[in-house]
Structure 1
Amino acid sequence: MFQSLLRIPFSLLHNHYLVRQLTWRDIAGRYRGSAAGLLWSFLTPLVMLALYTLVFGVMFQARWSAAAPERATVVTDGHGSFALILFVGLILHGFLAECIGRAPGLILGNANLVKRVVFPLEILGWSTIGSALFHSAVSFVALLVIYVLVQGTIQWTVLLLPLVLLPLTMLALGLVWFLSSIGVFLRDIGQVVPPVTTLLLFLSPILFPASSIPEPLRQLLFLNPLTIPVEQARALVIWGTMPDWGLLAAYTVVATLVAWGGLYWFNRTRAAFADVM
């Protein structure tokens, strides 16, 4: 199993040039022909942020101040702070939603590559992750700019953010490999994933604080793969506190197993891709 786990980073390191080329082709192709170009990757999350802030922060009068940790170094009253807290969750949800939303059609959309025996098909998963990470990185830059405007500073703990993003990336990668394989044999999976990603949004502490959920039901939130990354990312970016290292370590183990299982399944089924397609 240890050797199988090493195949995950090996597939990236050995084919890093192809991964870069496919990732950039995907990013550039998405905005080709549009007047704003890559600027849309910056504008889209801001528009969604404004919409959610209007609905939940203004109309529903949602507040997060009561849910702030005791060691929080910022005050989170007001619509500006609410928007920041909301934005962190929306970025991570957008990352995972983009990855698994594109996964079912990933192999089908690259049918010409399937017939190339020497082409490492698993790197299509890496390119999907790379494209989603690019858009998330742009969104985080926007978040930090808004944070400085609202709070006047940046938490130094934001430097630890990669420790939260890495396990989420591993989990997303495993799901991409698994769903892209399933999508070849079961085309209906592409219709199932979009409503599932919507459920992940509304059943995670993104639009509401976890403390607002009754204690007996609060534990169920941790079945959502977004709950732990969102909570830990907010601790680093918004509150300026250390994450729960034990919880993050457990999540990392699970995410690594998901990535390993996804790659194992992908490699076991890839031989049948050409026949089915």
Structure 2
Amino acid sequence: MIPYMKELFRSRELLYTWTMRDFKVRYSQSILGAAWAIIQPFSLMVVFSIIFSNIIRVPTDGIPYPLFSYVALLPWTFFANSLTFAIPSLVNNMNLVSKIFFPREILPLSSILVCLLDFLISCSIFVLMMIWYRVPIGWTTLLVPVILIIQFVLTYGISLLASAINVFYRDVRFVIPLVLQIWMYLSPIIYPVNLVPEWLQPFYFINPMATIIESYRRVVLYQQLPDWRYLGLAAAVSIVLIIFTYPYFKRAERQFADLI
């Protein structure tokens, strides 16, 4: 795996160029441009707030529901959009893959980096919301980069595996939206973790995104440390995943040009 990462590092200028190209192309003919990065999670937050703070009252331990949901929607939107764009990236760039030699993992990685830029843009609105609701920012917020790195590794590992499989079996593009929809409800986005029965939580947190989202909420809104047991499990799952999927991707890429 180390030789692959060295090769990727040597191609960092290509990765940067491709990422910026993707970012510009995504919003090139859009009236609102990069504002769409904010509109998607913000609109969901508004809908969830109307339903789950007025019609169905979800307990949030004193945190305004818009903040409660938005702090979870930001990383979830980053995760879901990353998979949506990264998984078909090889097939969508078949001309490059079949004719030009370069580390093919640049394509899914650049898609994730573009979504990371969207995530950072959306975070600016969240900061304004924190100020509006007068929720203080504690020192535990400094742990956000640690959680983000774990999420990034998890997302990249899944993207490498699924994008490679998608070259061989195009059914993956139909499966992903369904999986993401189910996965969203299996993660604590619209409800707090304490609604999950205590006996079920060890199984519930096998889902690494459940741990990651709950960790964001704890360190940012409640100024608490994350549950290191479950966050460590999420980190271990993410690392093991990428250790196995990266070599698989590199072995599979030898056949990409013949299949695409």
Is TM more than 0.5 here?
Answer: yes
Kindly indicate whether the alpha-carbon contact (under 8 Å) linking 2:154 and 2:238 is maintained by their aligned counterparts in 1: yes
1:56 counterpart residue number: 52
Taking every aligned residue pair, what percent have the same amino acid on both sides? 28
Residue 8 of structure 1: CA displacement? 6.3
TM-score scaled by length of structure 1: 0.88
Cα distance in 2 between the residues matched to 1:227 and 1:152: 23
In structure 1, what is the equivalent of residue 94 of structure 2? 111
Return the letter of the residue paired with 1:13: F
Please point out which of 55, 72, 80 is paired with 1:89: 72
SS of alignment partner, residue 235 of structure 1: helix
- What is residue 34 of structure 1 aligned with on the other side? 30
1:149 corresponding residue in structure 2: 132
**RMSD across aligned positions (CA):** 1.7
Q: Any stretches of 5+ residues in structure 1 without a counterpart?
A: 66-74
Give the Cα–Cα distance (whole angstroms) in 2 for the partners of residues 10 and 64 of structure 1.
45
Which AA in structure 2 matches 1:47? Answer: S
Say if 2:34 and 2:118, in contact at 8 Å, map to a contact too: no
Give per-residue Cα distances to partners, 1:113-142, cap 9 Å, x unaligned. Answer: 212352111111220110111111112221
What letter corresponds to residue 131 of structure 1 in structure 2? V
Mapped contact 1:104–1:187 kept (Cα < 8 A): no
* One-letter identity of the residue aligned with 1:10: K
Q: What letter is aligned with 1:144? A: V
1:104 shift after superposition: 3.3
Distance in 2 (CA, whole Å) between partners of 1:8 and 1:64 is: 45
Q: Does 1:208 align with 2:204?
A: no
Decide which of 190, 198, 220 is 2:173's aligned counterpart.
190
CA pair 141-10 structure 1, distance change in 2 beyond 3 A: farther
CA contact (8 A) 1:167 1:251 kept: yes
Measured at CA, do residues 11 and 84 of structure 1 come closer, stay the same or move farther in structure 2, by a change above 3 Å?
farther
Bigger mean CA deviation after superposition, 216-225 or 236-245: 216-225
Aligned to 2:252: 269
- TM-score normalised by structure 2 residue count: 0.93
- CA shift, 1:9, in A, is 4.7
- The answer to whether structure 1 residue 14 and structure 2 residue 10 are counterparts is yes
- 1:165 deviates by 0.7
| C-alpha distance in 1 between matches for 2:4 and 2:71 | 27
1:131-159 Cα distance to aligned partner (Å, 9 max, x none): 11111111222111101110253223222
Return the offset for 1:7.
4.7
Distance change (3 Å), C-alpha of 1:140 and 1:128: same
- What is the number of residues matched between the two proteins? 260
**Counterpart of 1:266 in structure 2: which amino acid?**
F
- Structure 1, residues 160-211: CA drift from partner, whole Å, max 9, x if none? 2010010110010011111110001100111001011011111111111111
**1:241-256 aligned within 5 A:** 241-256=224-239
- Between 208-217 and 196-205, report the one with greater CA deviation: 208-217
In 2 relative to 1, CA 9–244 (structure 1 residues): closer, same or farther, beyond 3 Å? Answer: farther
Question: Do the aligned partners of 2:98 and 2:258 also contact (CA within 8 Å) in 1?
Answer: no
| Cα separation, 1, equivalents of 2:47 and 2:177 | 20
Alpha-carbon distance, 1:272 to partner: 0.8
Mapped partners of 1:230, 1:243: distance in 2: 10
Cα offsets for 1:59-103 (capped at 9, x unmatched)? 2111211xxxxxxxxx42xxxx21111111111111111122223
SS at match of 1:151: coil
Change in Cα spacing, 1:104 to 1:126, as seen in structure 2 (3 Å) is closer
Residues 219, 253 of structure 1: alpha-carbon distance in 2 compared, 3 angstrom cutoff: closer
Q: Which moved more, 1:150-159 or 1:234-243?
A: 150-159
Question: Quick one: distance in 1 between partners of 2:187 and 2:99?
Answer: 41
> CA separation of 1:141/1:9 partners in 2, compared to 1, >3 Å: closer, same or farther?
farther
